[in-house]
Structure 1
Amino acid sequence: MRPRTIYLLRHGQTDFNVQGIVQGSGVDSSLNATGRRQAAQFFAAYGHMPFDKVYTSVLRRTQESVQQFLDLGLPHEAHAGLNEISWGVREGTRITMEEDAEYRQVLADWAAGRTNARLTGGESPDEVAARQRPFIELLKSRHDEETVLICMHGRAMRVMLCQLLNYPLHCMEGFEHSNLCLYKLEFTGTVFTVKNFLDVAHLQVPA
């Protein structure tokens, strides 16, 4: 079997990203003008790719980020397992390391390996990983999909990359992300490897 290629994309910018407001799985925001431009730039760079399938979360910001690919008629599936982590009662509010002791403590817990920790009413990385696993198994099983585009969310992407690359979840901060960044992975049928890490070269391409 030939290696398969997985393009793992974070959604484009939203107004909440600019304002430092946490979205999570409970805030279904749309891209702002910058996010739409980023999506157009990505399409300008990768619109020629023969993607066999496009996967997104069920949240609008991921689908809007790849809408031009969907407009080509490419097969598309939306999976709730790809949704962002839930930040619980803090969704829709501004959270900063400087001002928020609970947020600071949860991030410290995660880095120390206590990945069952969560903000009040929210999800832990362990819970996000658990809901991602059925999607990962589905992805692995679809051998005829040689080139796949997946658009999801920053924290959820970190959890996903840990799972695909067999890192413990406490290592997830090592997978940096920014709006419309790309991780390109190769899957041999047994092992995932990263070919492009935090790639944003496409954002230099005129849309």
Structure 2
Amino acid sequence: MSVKKIYLIRHGQTDFNVAGIVQGSGVDSDLNEAGHRQAARFFAVYQQLPFDKVYTSTLKRTHQSVQGFLDLHLPHEEHSGLNEISWGVREGLRITPDEDEEYHGVLQQWQRGETHARLLGGESPDEVAARQRPFIELLRSRPEEETVLVCMHGRAMRVLLCQLLNYPLRCMDSFEHRNLCLYKLHYTGSMFSVNSFLDVTHLNEC
């Protein structure tokens, strides 16, 4: 088969991002003005690519981030497997020093390989990985889609990249992200590889 090209982006900025408020899968926030500008800049740079399909999570901040492509009437599918991790009772709350301590404690557990750990009422990376696997199999099973655009969320993106590239989930923080950052991946039919890592050059375009 020919090499499948996957353009994997995180959604644009929201007011929750700016305010340090936890979003997760349970907060269906909109892009703010800066986020819409980021989306427009990405579209301006990549609108000429022959995307065969656009994939998003079910959350509207991912839809808004690729709205320019959807307006071109490109085929689009949303998948709950691409949704952000659930942060449980923390969602919709501004982080406080006490909450930071608990949050960073869970992050440290994940870095030790204890990826079953979760915040109260939330998901673990193991659970996020499990719900992403059907989407990964879908990517593998559609060779006719040679160039695809995937828009999702920061923590979930880290989990997905670990799975695609065969890293243990404890290494997920190695994959940095920013609002509307781009990872370009290739799939040869047997393995995924990263062609471009944390690309934000499109955000500098006028």
Q: Which bracket does the TM-score occupy, shorter chain normalised?
A: over 0.9
* 2-structure distance, mates of 1:172, 1:96: 24
CA 1:158–1:97 in structure 2 vs 1: closer, same or farther (change >3 Å)? Answer: farther
1:88 maps to which residue?
88
Superposition deviation, residue 95 in structure 1? 2.4
When normalised by structure 1's length, the TM-score is: 0.98
* 2-structure distance, mates of 1:28, 1:57: 11
Describe the SS at the equivalent of 2:8: strand
* 1-structure distance, mates of 2:144, 2:95: 42
Amino acid at match of 2:88: G
Superposition deviation, residue 100 in structure 1? 2.3
Describe the SS at the equivalent of 1:193: strand
CA 1:42–1:65 in structure 2 vs 1: closer, same or farther (change >3 Å)? Answer: same
- 1:51-105 Cα offsets, whole Å, 9 max, x none, are 0000000000000000000000100000000000000000001226775221111
Amino acid at match of 1:127: E
Describe the SS at the equivalent of 1:190: coil
Structure 1 residues 161-176: aligned runs within 5 Å: 161-176=161-176
Amino acid at match of 2:87: W
1:109 maps to which residue?
109
Consecutive unaligned residues of structure 1, counting only runs of 5 or more, are none
**What is the aligned length?**
206
* 2-structure distance, mates of 1:100, 1:61: 25
* 2-structure distance, mates of 1:200, 1:2: 27
When normalised by structure 2's length, the TM-score is: 0.98
Aligned-pair Cα RMSD in Å: 1.0
Amino acid at match of 2:38: Q
2:196 maps to which residue?
196
- 1:21-67 Cα offsets, whole Å, 9 max, x none, are 11000000000000000000000000000000000000000000000
Structure 1 residues 41-52: aligned runs within 5 Å: 41-52=41-52
Q: Percent identity, aligned pairs only?
A: 73
1:185 maps to which residue?
185
Kept after mapping to 2: 8 A contact 1:97/1:103: no
Consecutive unaligned residues of structure 2, counting only runs of 5 or more, are none
